[in-house]
Structure 1
Amino acid sequence: MDALIDRFGDPVILCAAGFFVGLLFGAAALLSKFCLRAAVVEVAEGRPGPRLAVWLVAFFAALSAVQAGVLIGALDTSGARQLATTGSLSGAIIGGLMFGVGMILARGCVSRLLVLSATGNLRAIVTGLVVTIVAQAALSGALAPVREALALLWTVPGGTARSLTTMLDVDVPHVTTLSGLALLASLAFGRVHRVPVFNLAAAAAVGFAVFLGWIATYTIAQVSFEVIAMQSVTFTGPSADTLMALVTTPSVTPSFGLGLVPGVFIGALLTALAKGEAHIQRFEADTPMERYLIGGLLMGFGIMLAGGCAVGAGMAGGSIMALTAWVAVACMWLGALLTHRWIAAHPPVARSA
């Protein structure tokens, strides 16, 4: 790693790491049909099955791999933003609920929209752009004051106060063991519901990509002379940075996030082409554009308020046992469950000709 950094520099190595992690995530997410919304729908309709199994395998694969890395000393997550800096519980709650509602309306979370965009889904491309623009506005634009006011309602200091491990008074060996058992139970649950072994392996690869993101950025930070922030798979900042780089900046500094988003897209695209699943999908009568736009708006603002998306906060933050991340993903589930049940109980009335 020292030789690579000396030859190419930190930014290029970070970008390359992000790209290869993204390739794995994009391909594995498409192959496994990884989707939080689909898992929520199964639970909301009282028929937990294959899609829930895939999500659980991915989540617990990330958690067990990261905690195992901490246990053996290969990884130290205490310096990660989700643990080291001040967090917002009000942001996690309100933003998580907003994200969950928007995810149901848009028929997919941010990572799912990016993966579907690579297959030619125009609905996902338009919604993803809305999410990215609104997220940027919430970060540093017109919506930033509102986001900051909501985030300051209930904050928690960084360090041990933000660590769920500390709050629950459990140590890393216990977390690693319990998460490993949960992973095995999730795999068994998937087999009971006839999920192919290959799909379960792909779901585990989704979680492993989260671990690779943490270990790659941590390793680079350890040998670099520059201050490099640890990070993993997330689509909040990277998507906004990628869009802004394309439309406002003629030259950009390579980073992990700038490699991640293209990597996910290309990984999903190559996989879709290989499987013959790449084709154009447009807005139709049963997929009204306004529903996707509202969903994208809610997700874009919710992402910045909650501190990340279903993967960035839910899986990457959850895998390092960040309190706000677990609260955010729980609220994403709750918001999505309630929204799906409300829509199911109030079907649209067909208009007469």
Structure 2
Amino acid sequence: MDLVNLVERMGEAPTAALFGLITGITFGIAAQRSRFCLRAATVEFARGRVEDKVAVWLLTFSTAVVWVQGAQLLGLMDSADARMMAVPGSWSGAIIGGLMFGAGMVLARGCSGRLLVLAATGNLRSVVSGLIFAVVAQMSLSGILSPARDGIAALWITDGGRNMDLLAALGIPHAGGLIIGVAIAAAALALAYRQRIGISRLIFASGVGFAVAVGWVLTYSLAQVAFEPVQIESATFTGPSAHTLMFFLERDAILEFDVGLVPGVFIGAMLAAWFAGEMRFQAFDDAVTMRKAMIGAALMGFGGMLAGGCAIGAGVTGGSIFVGTAWLALFCMWIGAMATDYLVDQKAGTVTA
């Protein structure tokens, strides 16, 4: 069955949700098996080590760039039509939101995507933190926190009514993005070899990057045949967490890519953990840990919405198409996470996995 027939049979919104589900399941399986986590990578780096967690993150990021840029060169997608590229970006939001998100993911011991993956394995700490993250994200999107978000975001926005395409701004040809991705992947593989990371973990780490490309290609393909405008997007968890929450709370909510993505990640991660024998219930260690996690989740909810994406949405998905504010947000997430680890955990002598 071709895509046109699928859309005619299911409708555009259900097809978008199905594509979100496919993207999410792919991401969930790969993320659970690779233990991909930006928070873990930043903490490792902040403590003077460049080991397996950094290698896995670099491989995921680079393979996302390779897959996405390769798809674009083959005409399977066009980043110029992507939602985060086609609208103005906020430099001020990327800086402040990125710092807040980075701090939050250290306090919560995982970024929003990692919390969703852990929740699927029975981690009750991640369930609570994830719910707080989704609620605050919704409050920041259209609730009581939205005026503050709008005010900060408006302080410094990109010129020209669009976000900045870094490749175009730097005069790099279209194939340059693919070359950059390959170069980073080579460095990641060299580091992985030095750390003796198993081949299966490397495959799954690259699978996370592949999932990002799957989302871009599927939504772009749907946009080419849909009668109504379809947003070209891929894996991210700030907006989708808020949208999924409201989908189950509002009777008139509609299906969309986001509503398929979040359950898909949960299903994929749960299946991967189940087959690996890694399903087990975990709770907060103590009241201090719970308090830090709740504060961190709230910071991520507001910070991710302000930055235009979470550690996945801005850091990998936006980075894969060289969105200017996404790369700035990712850099600020690293800075915020490293500073928080130093001030909160290293000074207190805390060691976190």
- Pick the TM interval, shorter chain: over 0.9
Give 1:38 deviation, angstroms.
Answer: 0.6
The offset of 1:288, in angstroms, is: 1.9
Task: Tell me what 2:232 maps to.
Answer: 230
Unmatched 5+ residue regions in structure 1? none
How far is the alpha carbon of 1:310 from its aligned partner?
Answer: 0.4
Distance 1:157 1:282 in 2: 46
Partner of 1:324: 325
**TM superposition shift of 1:184:** 2.2
Quote the offset at 1:20 in angstroms: 1.1
SS of 1:120's equivalent in the other structure is: coil
Among all aligned residue pairs of Structure 1 and Structure 2, give the percentage whose two residues are the same amino acid: 47
| Map of 2:208 onto structure 1 | 206
Corresponding position of 2:86: 84
Please state how far the C-alpha of 1:251 moved relative to its aligned partner: 5.2
Match of 1:67 in 2: 69
| C-alpha distance in 1 between matches for 2:112 and 2:231 | 22
Amino acid in the other structure paired with 1:111: G
In structure 2, the CA distance between the partners of 1:334 and 1:229, relative to structure 1 (3 Å rule), is: same
Residue by residue over 1:65-104, the C-alpha shift from the partner in whole angstroms, topping out at 9 and shown as x without a partner, is 1111112222111011211111100000000000000010
Distance 1:152 1:81 in 2: 18
CA shift at 1:346, angstroms?
A: 2.4
The corresponding residue for 1:130 is 132
2:157 aligned with 1:145, yes or no?
no
Kept in 2, the 8 Å contact 1:39–1:51? The answer is yes
Contact kept, 8 Å, 2:247 with 2:254, in 1: the verdict is: no
User: 1:308 — aligned with what?
Assistant: 309
* Number of aligned residues: 348
> Any idea what the Cα deviations from partners look like across 1:282-315, whole Å, max 9, x if unmatched?
1123862111111011111001100010001111
Indicate conservation of the 8 Å contact 2:19/2:257, yes or no: yes
Q: Deviations over 1:26-64 (max 9, x none)?
A: 010000000001101110111110011111110011111
Other-structure match for 1:291:
292
1:307, 1:208 → 2: CA distance?
A: 21
Alignment RMSD, CA only? 1.5
Q: Which amino acid aligns with 2:54?
A: L
Q: Is contact 1:83-1:159 (8 Å) kept?
A: no
**Greater Cα shift, 88-97 or 238-247:** 238-247
User: Bigger shift: 66-75 or 206-215?
Assistant: 66-75
- In the alignment, the residues of structure 2 paired with residue 212 and residue 312 of structure 1 have an alpha-carbon distance, to the nearest angstrom, of 14
Alignment partner, residue 26 of structure 2: 24
* 8 Å Cα contact 2:219-2:233 kept in structure 1: yes
1:178 aligns with 2:180: yes
Counterpart CA distance in 1 for 2:160 and 2:349 is: 45
> Matches of 2:268 and 2:192 in 1, distance apart?
24
Counterparts of 1:131 and 1:158, CA distance in 2: 32
Residue 191 of structure 1: how far off its partner (Å): 1.6
Indicate the residue corresponding to 2:54 in structure 1. 52
Partner of 1:246: 248
* Alpha-carbon distance in structure 2 between the residues aligned to 1:180 and 1:261: 29
CA contact (8 A) 2:314 2:329 kept: yes
SS at match of 1:340: helix
CA distance in 2, matches of 1:348, 1:168: 43
Question: How far 1:348 moved relative to its partner?
Answer: 7.2
| Residue type of the alignment partner of 1:334 | I
When structure 1 is superposed on structure 2, of 88-97 and 131-140 the one drifting more is 131-140
| Secondary structure at the counterpart of residue 79 of structure 2 | coil
User: Residues 98 and 298 of structure 1 are in contact (CA less than 8 Å); yes or no, is this contact kept in structure 2?
Assistant: yes
Give the Cα–Cα distance (whole angstroms) in 2 for the partners of residues 159 and 183 of structure 1: 33
Preserved CA contact (<8 Å) 2:89 2:162: no
Contiguous gaps of at least 5 residues in structure 2: none
Equivalent pair of 1:85/1:158 in contact (CA under 8 Å): no
For the residue of structure 1 that corresponds to 2:81, the secondary structure is coil
In structure 2, do the counterparts of structure 1 residues 99 and 12 end up closer, same or farther at CA, with 3 Å as the change threshold? same
> What secondary structure does 1:162 align onto?
coil
**One-letter code aligned to 1:61:** T
Residues 62/225 of structure 1: CA separation in 2 closer, same or farther (3 Å cut): same
